[in-house]
Amino acid sequence: MSQLPQPPASEAGGAAPQFLGTRIRGLRKRRGMTLAELAAHSELTAGYISQLERNLSYPSIPALFNIARSLGVTIQWFFASEATTAPEDQGYVVRRNSRLSVHYEDGIVDQLLTPQPNRQLEILHSRFPPGHLQPAKLQP
């Protein structure tokens, strides 16, 4: 099995999720998959994935999980950078200032709390602004 491609460090951990579509498209193409194939494997529509890849839409966590699973990576891969963690900080704890974060336009913030990508367990901490009442956005 070949080693997973590393996401560009310049895009990782940015303030907006604009890089997600670029990473989805890049990994899909490296895997030799068409939009239709990825859609079938991830149980999403090709149109929705196309919108994600062109950064016209933001994926929900369940949609991103299905895409990641279909591409053979974990959700954290989309947020990981090439930056290395100091040896004393490697392990089970991710310090607050070292967390990989995505800040959405509507005020939602997602942070990955697990230290290394491609593990079986990933912990995601989501913060919603007070009064946020849009559960429909959780569905693709």
Which range in 25-29, 90-94, 132-136 is most confidently predicted, on average pLDDT? 25-29
What mean pLDDT do residues 77-85 have?
A: 61
> SS in 3 state form for 83-105?
CCCCHHHCCCCCCHHHCEEEECC
27 Cβ contact list (under 8 Å, min separation 6): 5, 71, 73, 77
Q: Is the pLDDT of residue 135 over 70?
A: no
In CATH terms, the fold of domain 19-129 is 434 Repressor (Amino-terminal Domain) (1.10.260)
Inter-CA distances, 39 with 30, 90, 129, Å:
16, 35, 31
Per residue in 122-134, pLDDT (tens digit) is 778 888 888 876 6
What mean pLDDT do residues 28-34 have?
A: 92
Per residue in 42-76, pLDDT (tens digit) is 999 999 999 999 988 888 888 989 999 999 888 87
- Which pLDDT band, with edges at 50, 70 and 90, does 32 fall under? very high
Structure tokens belonging to residue 65? 């999980």
The predicted pLDDT at position 34 comes to: 94
Hey, where are the domains in the chain?
Answer: 19-129
54 Cβ contact list (under 8 Å, min separation 6): 21
Select the more confidently predicted residue: 30 or 5.
30
- Candidates 4, 5, 9, 3; CA nearest to 82 is 9
82 Cβ contact list (under 8 Å, min separation 6): 6, 7, 8, 9, 12
The predicted pLDDT at position 11 comes to: 39
Residue 137: CB atoms within 10 A of its CB come to 12
